[in-house]
Amino acid sequence: MKRSITLYTIIALFVLLQTDAFATIRRVGFINSITPVSGLDFTTFQAAHDASVVGDTIQLYPSTLNSGNYFSGTINKKLVILGPGYYYNTYNIPGSAIINAGLQILPGGINSTNFTIALGSAGTVFQGIYALSISTSNILDSLNNITISRCRSVNVSFTNSGVCNNWLISQCMGASVSQGGYGVSFNGNRTITNLRMENSAGVSVSYSASGPQSPVGVNSGQILNCNLYYGPPATGMDYLYSSFDFNNSVFVVQNCIDLGGRLPGSGVANTIFVNNLTTSAALNNPVFTNPGSSGNVFGISLTGNAFFVGIPTNTSGSTTLYSPDAAFQLSPTSPAKNAGIIPGTVTPTDCGMYGGTNPYKASGIPAVPSFYKLSSPSATAIASPYIMTFSTKSNN
C-alpha cells in the first residue's frame, strides 16, 4: 500500500504541473535515441498543429542539423507554442564570470519560425522562440488576445489583418510590429486596439498603412519599460534596432530608456511620453512638448557603466562578463532606478526592461517547471516503499 500511495503522489504532482488538466503536449523536432511516440512526436509544426485540439501545447526543439530547425505553418486554434529559450549555447561563460542564472546548455538551435495567425487562433501564446515571424490573415474580428513573451527577434506584420485586439509582446529581445499597405480584396476595419509592448529591448513600430480602409493604425497602444537603442552598444551584444513611425496612432510611451536618440520618432501627434530617459535633447522635442507628456529626462549619458552593469563595457580583459540580456540590469546607482511610475498609480518603479510590473526574465526560458534532479536507489523496485527523489524549479 505504501508503494501505491507514493506512486499516486508522483502522478498527482505531474498532473498539477500541467497548465491544462486535459491538454496534450506535442513535440516537433525532438531528437532522441528512443522511437518517436505516435501522436506526440512530429517532424513538422503543421502536422503537430493539425493533430492538436484547443488548449494543447506544442514544443519546438533546436537542432544541430542545417544550422538549426525551421518551423512554419498556419494557426487556426488556440494553442501554447513553446521554444527552448535563447542564449543557451553561445554565452555559457566559464569561470567566475557573471552570467544569466537561466542559461541552459542545449545542442543546436532554431533557425527561423514563420506562422500565420488565422480564424480561431484567439488566445494563442508564443514563448521561448527565436526568430519568430507572425503575419495576420485577411479576416475580421478573430485575431484577438495573442501573447508573445520571452522570444528573441520577433517580427509581427498586421498588414492584411482585420481588427486585432489585446495583443501583448513582453520580455523579448528585439521585437518589431508593422502595418503597411492593404490587400486589394480587403476593405474592412484594420484597427489595432490595446497593443502592449513591455519589458523588452530593441522594440520598433512602423505604421505606414494607407488605402481605402478606415480606420487603420493603433488605438490605445502602449510601450512600457523598454530599452530603445540603435546598434550594438557593447562587446558581445546583439544588434538591436529601434525605430518609430507612429503614423499619428494613439500611443503611450512610458518608463523607457532611450539609448540612441530613437525618441520621439515620426507621426507622434497623438503620442504621450511619460517618465522616459533619453539621450535626445529637450529643445523642440515632442517628448517634452506633446500634451500630457511629463517626467522625461533628456541628455542622458552612457559614459562608463553608469546606467547598466554591462553597457557600454561588457568585458574584463578577454572575458565577456554578461550575456546580452543580463547586461541590461541596472547599475546599483543608476539614474533609472525609481525614475518611472507604474501606469495608473503613483508607485515608483525602475525604468527599463527589468522594472515595472512584469520584469524581463533572463534567457527567454518558458514559464514551465524545470526538472533538475531525479534519483532512485536502484533501477528495479526491490523494496517497499520504493523511494524516488525528484526536484523542480519554477521559471515563472
3 state SS of 341: strand
Q: Per DSSP, which regions of 190-333 are E strands? A: 190-198, 201-207, 216-219, 221-224, 227-228, 244-245, 251-254, 257-258, 271-274, 277-278, 315-316, 319-320
Please check the confidence at residue 295 and state whether its pLDDT lies above 50.
yes
Task: Give the HSE-up count for residue 70: Cα atoms under 13 Å, Cβ half-sphere.
Answer: 3
184 — pLDDT class (breaks 50, 70, 90): low
Per-residue pLDDT averaged across 121-135, rounded? 94
Question: Which of 306 and 226 is assigned the larger pLDDT?
Answer: 226
Range of lowest pLDDT (71-75, 246-250, 335-339, 352-356): 246-250
Pair 262, 236: CB distance under 8 Å: no
Q: How confident is the model at residue 187 (pLDDT cuts 50, 70, 90)?
A: low
Written as nine digits, the cell of 159 is: 498588414
| H-assigned helices in the chain | 2-16, 45-51, 286-289
The position carrying cell 506633446 is 290
Task: Assess contact for 223 and 254: CB atoms under 8 A.
Answer: yes
Give the list of residues 6+ apart from residue 129 with CB closer than 8 angstroms, or none.
60, 81, 82, 83, 110, 113, 151, 152
Give me 145's grid cell. 488576445
Average pLDDT over residues 194-209: 89
Sign of CA dihedral 229, 231, 234, 235: positive
Flag whether pLDDT at 17 surpasses 70: no
pTM: 0.86
pLDDT (0 to 100) of residue 86 = 87
To the nearest whole number, what is the mean pLDDT of the chain?
A: 81
- pLDDT, residue 357, reads 95
* CA-based end-to-end distance of the chain: 36
Task: Look at 151-155, 199-203, 204-208 and tell me which has the smallest mean pLDDT.
Answer: 204-208
Give 268 or 161, the one with higher predicted confidence.
268
Contact assessment for residue 85 and residue 102, using Cβ atoms and an 8 Å cutoff: yes
Q: What is the pLDDT of residue 87?
A: 83
Residue 269 gets which letter from DSSP?
T
What are the CB-based long-range contacts (under 8 Å, 24+) for 22-26? 22/55, 23/55, 23/56, 23/57, 23/80, 24/52, 24/53, 24/56, 24/57, 25/56, 25/57, 25/58, 25/59, 26/51, 26/52, 26/56, 26/57, 26/58, 26/59
What distance in Å separates the CA atoms of residue 100 and residue 88, rounded to the nearest whole number? 10
pLDDT above 90 covers what percent of the chain?
40
Query: What's the mean pLDDT in 72-92?
Result: 85
Task: Tell whether the model's pLDDT for residue 104 goes beyond 90.
Answer: no
**Cis peptide bond N-terminal to 385, omega within 30:** yes
Tell me whether residue 8 is exposed, middle or buried, using C-beta atoms within 10 angstroms of its C-beta: 0 to 12, 13 to 18, 19 or more: exposed
CB atoms within 10 A of CB 365: 24
Task: Flag the least confident range among 75-79, 232-236, 321-325.
Answer: 232-236
Q: Does residue 4 register a pLDDT over 60?
A: no
Query: Given a cut of 50, is residue 244 above it in pLDDT?
Result: yes
